[in-house]
Structure 1
Amino acid sequence: MSSLPPLSLSILGVEPLDEFIKEIADFIHHMIISRPDLPGKVEVEAKIGLLRERNGGRLLLPVLVETILRPDTVDCRFESNMTAAQHKHFNTLLNNLKTSSQRGSPLDYAHLYLVDSFHASGGNEREKIRVTRDEKTDAVVEVMKKIRLGDLNIYSPKRCADWRVSVNLEVPVALPTDPATHTRRKDRMKYMHEEFSIDLTQVTSTNSNGVSSEILHELEVEISRPELLLATAAKRGDINAPENERNAFDELIRAFVNNARILVRNANDSWH
């Protein structure tokens, strides 16, 4: 008899907690509850890219599967740029998903043309204010200062790409009057699915003299509603909250992680 009878999830009848997703959820939750007491929205995103050694080669570690790196323990840098061929690959993949009739929730789409200009904050060259404008209308979309709260690198030795989870605080500020130190033009294709947005962006950087220095291609997943993120984080583990509210934050992060993993696993070997 070769057929397999129904099996229990475990001897206790439950599935063990996924430590990988819990570690990322714990990290994001800690960044949220320990953030500076400033007005602004919390941004949680996963960038797809490569972890590189200082000599430029891809990071090599003695592990077989996807691994979260303890912050500040591995001497490496994260590079979010991809090739134009990889950019086209993901564009085709996401467009096919958008038009597919086999999917459940719809995938909405917007094509944005934005220009970011960066200005010194209060004379401090190291702190930047970012002014985002609609390229077509020149209307100001956003003026803010981004405060980096923390990053978590994920090494994926079986895949063509790695990824990084970043948590930032975006603080609204007044429109600066001093000239920009540099600008970035963003040709962005935004795909929106449930509580997440997937941004595929071609970035052209220009210095203060108007000289274009480089063109980058980037892919990231972001939690779309910061207010939902904070609301679910506040109820996480609250014994007085209903179970669905108590677990909502971890469910949100689980889906966020799954989206990042799916993109990484669909990267092809044209990344390098």
Structure 2
Amino acid sequence: MSRKRLRTDDTDQTNQTPPEVVNDSMPLLPRRLELSIFGGRPVNDLVKVVSDFLYKYINEPNIEIEAKLGVLVDKNTKNRLFLPIACEAVIDPNDSLNSRLTFSSDMTLEQHKSFNEILNKRFSETNARNYQGARMTYIHTKDTDRFYNIERGGRVRVTTREGQVIENGVVEKSRLANLNIFSPRTRLDYRITVNIETPRELPTGRHHYERIKDRMSYTHQIFKFDLTQVKIPETTNMSGRDQRSNKELTHELEIEFLDPQVLLTERQNFEKKRPDRFIEIVEVFVNNIQQLVQYAG
């Protein structure tokens, strides 16, 4: 039987601290560590910043939320951004640093193959007979995007598959905001973007730009993971004249909400003082991005 003794101070004090109980047999490391002295964990700071960013825009109609993996490039040096920090960080969207950054979402062919293998393996694991978690689904598509200039300076994208316009395939896409995240410990950074995709009528006339997308789409619960090879035809009409494409193939990986309505519903719950899962949803979104970025090395 373990021996416990009470350590006290003989000095009479008006304000005494609780006596210390000393257990001679107490292990150095408890069997279970509590998350904190308060019993829980604080909201991850990066998740909170992303949550605030999405909360600001989620009330807009026809919202698209996506994250792309890539590299933040300094326009001055033409190289990947350098910051004197040791871990992942969000760049303040209001800071002037963003004005001298571009984001290259093109990855190497080797990275593309690696992500393909990782996602295929995970698809197989989640579809095993004895798997208890949420199962992934998969579809391989080959689409063509054609872009048309319209009045007011806008641009309409028409997406076809096997010669037919796909469902919701005629939209005008406009960007609302970007959030750049620098990840110095990995080979890739990422950018979270909020867009508006407004349905439009099928345009007439000649398109001015075209791209062919060979895409493998994986879905898991409320998210879609698109691994895409994009090919621009050797000659395509850009800015009113034919120009040769600078690069035949690009490779992209993006994570997207299947339906951003799920976030809007949780925002409304929060505003009505009802229990909500807004932070939880954003945390899973960020978890997915971070794990894929880490797989890139």
Would the TM-score normalized by the shorter structure come out above 0.5?
Answer: yes
Q: What is the alpha-carbon distance in structure 1 between the residues aligned to residue 192 and residue 180 of structure 2?
A: 6
- Note the C-alpha offset of 1:191: 0.4
In the alignment, what sits opposite 1:232? Answer: 266
**Structure index of larger Rg:** 2
Moved beyond 4 Å, runs of 4+: 209-213
Of the three residues 34, 37, 52, the one matched with 1:26 is: 52
TM-score by length of 1: 0.88
- Note the C-alpha offset of 1:254: 0.9
Q: AA paired with 1:67? A: A
Say whether residues 1:73 and 2:96 are aligned partners.
yes
In the alignment, what sits opposite 1:111? Answer: 140
1:48-93 per-position Cα deviation (integer Å, ceiling 9, x unaligned):
0011111221111011110000114323211100011111110011
Say whether residues 1:82 and 2:107 are aligned partners.
yes
Listed as ranges, the gaps of 5+ residues in structure 2 are 1-26
Listed as ranges, the gaps of 5+ residues in structure 1 are none
Q: What is the alpha-carbon distance in structure 2 between the residues aligned to residue 178 and residue 123 of structure 1?
A: 16
In the alignment, what sits opposite 1:47? Answer: 68
Of the three residues 163, 180, 197, the one matched with 2:207 is: 180
Q: How does 1:179-218 map to 2 (within 5 A)?
A: 179-206=206-233, 207-208=236-237, 209=242, 212-214=245-247, 215-218=249-252
Q: 1:237 to 1:65 in 2, by over 3 A?
A: farther
Aligned partner of residue 220 in structure 1, secondary structure: strand
Q: What is the alpha-carbon distance in structure 1 between the residues aligned to residue 152 and residue 203 of structure 2?
A: 11
Q: What is the alpha-carbon distance in structure 1 between the residues aligned to residue 32 and residue 226 of structure 2?
A: 41
Aligned partner of residue 225 in structure 1, secondary structure: coil
Is the Cα–Cα contact under 8 Å of residues 205 and 213 in structure 1 kept in the other structure?
Answer: no
Q: What is the alpha-carbon distance in structure 2 between the residues aligned to residue 235 and residue 150 of structure 1?
A: 24
In the alignment, what sits opposite 2:157? Answer: 130
Q: What is the alpha-carbon distance in structure 1 between the residues aligned to residue 229 and residue 209 of structure 2?
A: 16
Q: What is the alpha-carbon distance in structure 2 between the residues aligned to residue 112 and residue 146 of structure 1?
A: 21
Aligned partner of residue 164 in structure 2, secondary structure: coil
TM-score by length of 2: 0.81
CA RMSD of aligned residues (A): 1.8
Q: What is the alpha-carbon distance in structure 1 between the residues aligned to residue 219 and residue 40 of structure 2?
A: 33
Q: Which has the higher contact order (CA 8 A, sep 6+)?
A: 1
Aligned partner of residue 96 in structure 2, secondary structure: coil
- Note the C-alpha offset of 1:130: 0.6
Q: What is the alpha-carbon distance in structure 1 between the residues aligned to residue 217 and residue 163 of structure 2?
A: 19
Of the three residues 57, 69, 76, the one matched with 2:79 is: 57
In the alignment, what sits opposite 1:263? Answer: 292
- Note the C-alpha offset of 1:212: 4.8
Q: What is the alpha-carbon distance in structure 1 between the residues aligned to residue 183 and residue 53 of structure 2?
A: 19
